[in-house]
């Protein structure tokens, strides 16, 4: 083990972590306004990516068009999930809501295999250039794009939440939904918009992941749900900053664990850290200050 290895791992982890961070941001937004887990979040992304892949394979759509198809596809599927799994359920039916989202997960997986029956499908690469050399370190250009996109989207979401009227409404719904209704905010509309926005962000994440891999399988659905969930929980629920931190941390941790301990232990380390954090420090990375709030939010699931 050398300093170069450590630095290279950290760098690689940071890049992969960027995609986790994006997934966690989407998850956090949905969880914030709904207070319920959307298990179909990953499969929603998968559906968008599959639609984009189909456009690429059968119509030869250029990369930019594929990106647009993926984003719009994920947003529309997200709307479908919201309509069927979240809108109709009241406060008392959180478990039912979650299980309904699982049912749609199964549905989307099967629909995806009908759309593209091959297990593995080609996806247009983002940038096919040689890796950049920075001293002894290697850096893939498409990874750099992924990191930049993550930071850009995180900045945009932060701006939306802090500075716009919709952002004010979203925060009000997250903070105190009944009071939000009382002051005249259309709570259901805000929930729907947030859901669609989060699904579109997930679409961007899915596109970037598939494009850096150059291929896609339907496993991306389950993968996105679990990675996004772990990253969100690591960061502590309910904050964009926490979601970014959780995603990057998960990426770096996994990169080191993979290098030193192998791919199986890599996954175990991530789950182990999550378990220990939840059992002994449920506030997540944002620390004990956020604990009361997040516990109050999380308890309602």
The answer to whether 300 contacts another protein (rule: CB under 8 A) is yes
The answer to whether 267 contacts another protein (rule: CB under 8 A) is yes
Nearer to another protein by C-beta: 213 or 267?
A: 267
As measured in angstroms, the least distance from the Cβ of 260 to another protein is: 15
The answer to whether 115 contacts another protein (rule: CB under 8 A) is no
Q: What gap in Å lies between CA 24 and CA 247, rounded to an integer?
A: 7
Nearer to another protein by C-beta: 147 or 174?
A: 174
Q: What gap in Å lies between CA 97 and CA 271, rounded to an integer?
A: 25
In the shown chain, the binding pattern of residues 213 to 252 toward another protein, with x for contact by CB under 8 A and - for none, equals ---------x---x--xx--x---x---------------
The answer to whether 89 contacts another protein (rule: CB under 8 A) is yes
The answer to whether 281 contacts another protein (rule: CB under 8 A) is no
As measured in angstroms, the least distance from the Cβ of 72 to another protein is: 22
Q: What gap in Å lies between CA 143 and CA 56, rounded to an integer?
A: 21
The answer to whether 84 contacts another protein (rule: CB under 8 A) is yes
| Helix pair 94-115, 63-81: axis angle to 10 deg | 140
Name 132's bridge partners: 139
Q: What gap in Å lies between CA 24 and CA 224, rounded to an integer?
A: 9
Contacts of 246 (CB under 8 A, 6+ apart): 20, 21, 24, 230, 231, 232, 233, 234, 235, 236, 284, 285
The answer to whether 110 contacts another protein (rule: CB under 8 A) is yes
Nearer to another protein by C-beta: 124 or 284?
A: 284
Query: Looking at residue 83, what DSSP letter applies?
Result: I
Q: What gap in Å lies between CA 203 and CA 246, rounded to an integer?
A: 19
Helix count and strand count (H, E) for the chain:
12, 4
Nearer to another protein by C-beta: 89 or 259?
A: 89
Binding site for another protein (CB under 8 A): 31, 37, 39, 84-85, 88-89, 92-100, 102-111, 114, 165, 168-169, 171-172, 174-176, 178-186, 222, 226, 229-230, 233, 237, 264-265, 267-268, 271-272, 274-275, 278-280, 282, 293, 295, 298-301
């Amino acid at each position: 083990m050398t300093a170069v290895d450590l630095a290279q791992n950290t760098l690689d982890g940071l890049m992969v972590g960027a995609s986790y961070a994006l997934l966690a941001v989407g998850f956090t937004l949905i969880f914030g306004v709904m207070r319920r887990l959307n298990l179909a979040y990953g499969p929603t992304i998968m559906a968008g990516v599959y639609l984009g892949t189909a456009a690429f394979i059968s119509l030869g759509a250029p990369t930019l068009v594929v990106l647009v198809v993926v984003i719009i596809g994920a947003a529309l599927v997200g709307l479908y999930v919201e309509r069927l799994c979240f809108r109709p359920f009241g406060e008392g039916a959180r478990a039912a809501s979650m299980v309904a989202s699982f049912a749609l997960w199964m549905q989307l997986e099967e629909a995806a295999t009908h759309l593209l029956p091959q297990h593995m499908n080609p996806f247009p690469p983002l940038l096919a250039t040689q890796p950049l050399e920075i001293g002894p370190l290697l850096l893939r250009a498409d990874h750099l794009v992924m990191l930049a996109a993550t930071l850009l989207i995180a900045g945009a979401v932060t701006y939306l939440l802090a500075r716009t009227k919709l952002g004010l409404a979203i925060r009000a719904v997250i903070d105190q939904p009944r009071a939000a209704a009382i002051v005249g905010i259309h709570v259901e509309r805000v929930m729907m918009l947030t859901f669609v926005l989060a699904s579109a962000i997930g679409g961007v994440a899915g596109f970037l992941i598939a494009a850096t891999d150059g291929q896609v399988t339907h496993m991306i659905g389950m993968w996105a749900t679990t990675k996004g969930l772990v990253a969100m929980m690591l960061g502590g629920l309910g904050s964009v900053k926490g979601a970014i931190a959780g995603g990057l941390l998960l990426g770096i941790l996994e990169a080191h664990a993979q290098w030193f301990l192998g791919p199986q232990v890599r996954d175990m380390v991530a789950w182990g850290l999550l378990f220990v954090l939840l059992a002994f420090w449920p506030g997540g990375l944002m620390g004990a200050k956020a604990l009361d709030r997040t516990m109050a939010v999380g308890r309602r699931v």
